[in-house]
Amino acid sequence: MKNDIHPDYHTITVVMTDGTTYETRSTWGSEGDTLTLEVDPKSHPAWVGGTQKVSEKGRVAAFNKRFANFKLKK
Q: What is the mean pLDDT of each run of 10 residues along the chain (74 residues)?
A: 87 93 95 91 72 64 84 72
Is 2 within the bounds of a domain?
Answer: no
pLDDT at 74: 66
The answer to whether residue 53 is domain-embedded is yes
The per-residue pLDDT for 67 is 86
- Tell me, yes or no, whether 73 lies in a domain: no
Please give the model's pTM, rounded to 2 decimal places. Answer: 0.55
In whole angstroms, what separates CA 36 from the centre of its chain? 15
Does residue 44 lie in a domain region? yes
Domain assignment present for 1: no
Buried b (16+ CB within 10 A) or exposed e, 7-40: eeeeebebeeeeeeeeeeeeeeeeeeeeeeeeee
Number of separate domains in the chain = 1
Residue 62 has what pLDDT?
A: 83
Does 19 fall in a domain? yes
Domain coverage including residue 27:
10-67
Q: What secondary structure letter does DSSP report for 18?
A: T
Q: Does 58 fall in a domain?
A: yes
Query: For residue 59, what are the CA distances in angstroms to 12, 21, 50, 69?
Result: 46, 42, 20, 17
